[in-house]
């Protein structure tokens, strides 16, 4: 079970350095914007806007659209407002699973956020109910194969059996397709597998830290002691010969 208080804390701590480390999130955003069909969207809802990496792409492509951009972290919203100043973009602090949905939208979209939801079924139900006829729901989500190498290294450490990578709870392709099909039509889920190499385990953990994703699931908020760090690094190198990280990204879309 993912703890939203922990998620808020992690992303808030990382707000002012997030863009420096968010190369994978930026890659996902660039691929996601290409998945949005050509249309004259008047009302757009962006879920989990963060610092505005994806918001900027939406604004550039749909310059005349009104964009309501929501994020659970007040600090992330603060940075987004500093990065993007436009009359047609309205930033709002709120939990995407609980925000008021009184308007109807032509596009609901989100980059690298859905994996943190407690119930995608309830969220998809709510979003589908406020989409106009012919409107689209388009988003990216990290999958459970993300940080496969780190998960294997942690598993190999016998003295820390309760350490787990958070991505093991992320939604797989089948679950995303199943819940989208329950409420919407023209469902498409594309998978991207990409890998990044890091100079050291420290660099990987710094990247995880500053993108708010953290290496461990709630309840495993360990201090990385010198002994633990060396054990993980040794296991990593024994398994892979280098410090790499796999990222599984799903590009999803469906129509009302």
Within a domain: 176: yes
Within a domain: 235: no
Structure tokens of 133? 């006829």
Within a domain: 113: yes
Rounded to whole angstroms, the Cα distance separating 141 from 124 reads 14
Rounded to whole angstroms, the Cα distance separating 57 from 152 reads 35
Within a domain: 205: no
Rounded to whole angstroms, the Cα distance separating 65 from 57 reads 12
Rounded to whole angstroms, the Cα distance separating 89 from 69 reads 7
Within a domain: 53: yes
User: pLDDT at position 214, please?
Assistant: 55
Domain residues for 63? 4-144+169-195+247-255
Q: What does the radius of gyration of the chain's CA atoms come to, in whole angstroms?
A: 18
User: pLDDT at position 162, please?
Assistant: 66
Beta pairing partners, 68:
45, 90
User: pLDDT at position 6, please?
Assistant: 64
Within a domain: 29: yes
DSSP-based helix, strand, coil % in the chain, nearest 5: 45, 25, 35
Q: How many domains, in total, are found in the chain? A: 1
Within a domain: 68: yes
Provide the residue-wise pLDDT of the chain in tens; the chain has 256 residues: 556 666 666 666 777 788 899 999 999 999 999 999 999 899 999 999 999 999 999 999 999 999 999 999 999 999 999 999 999 999 999 999 999 999 999 999 999 999 999 899 999 999 999 999 999 999 999 999 999 999 999 888 866 666 778 888 899 999 999 999 999 999 999 999 999 999 999 999 889 888 866 545 444 445 577 888 898 999 999 999 999 999 999 999 999 9
Within a domain: 222: no
CATH number, residue 81: 3.40.50.150
């Amino acid at each position: 079970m993912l703890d939203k208080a922990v998620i808020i804390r992690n992303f808030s701590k990382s707000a002012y350095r997030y863009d420096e480390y968010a190369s994978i999130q930026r890659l996902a955003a660039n691929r996601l914007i290409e998945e949005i069909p050509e249309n004259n969207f008047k009302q757009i809802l962006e879920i989990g806007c963060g610092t505005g990496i994806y918001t900027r792409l939406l604004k550039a492509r749909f310059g005349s659209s009104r964009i309501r951009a929501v994020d659970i972290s007040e600090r992330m919203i603060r940075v987004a407002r500093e990065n993007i100043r436009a009359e047609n973009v309205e930033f709002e602090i709120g939990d995407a699973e609980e925000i008021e949905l009184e308007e109807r939208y032509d596009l609901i979209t989100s980059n690298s956020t859905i994996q943190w939801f407690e119930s995608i079924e309830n969220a998809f139900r709510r979003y589908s109910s406020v989409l106009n006829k012919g409107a689209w729901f388009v988003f990216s989500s990290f999958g459970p194969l993300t940080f496969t190498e780190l998960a294997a290294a942690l598993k190999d450490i016998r003295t820390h059996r309760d350490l787990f990578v958070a991505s093991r709870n992320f939604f797989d392709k089948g679950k995303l397709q199943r819940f989208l099909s329950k409420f919407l039509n023209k469902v498409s889920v594309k998978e991207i597998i990409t890998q990044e190499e890091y100079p050291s385990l420290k660099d990987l953990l710094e990247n995880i830290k500053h993108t708010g994703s953290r290496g461990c699931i709630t309840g495993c908020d360990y201090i990385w002691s010198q002994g633990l760090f060396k054990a993980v690094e040794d296991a990593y190198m024994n398994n892979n010969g280098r410090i790499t990280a796999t990222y599984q990204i799903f590009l999803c879309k469906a129509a009302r």
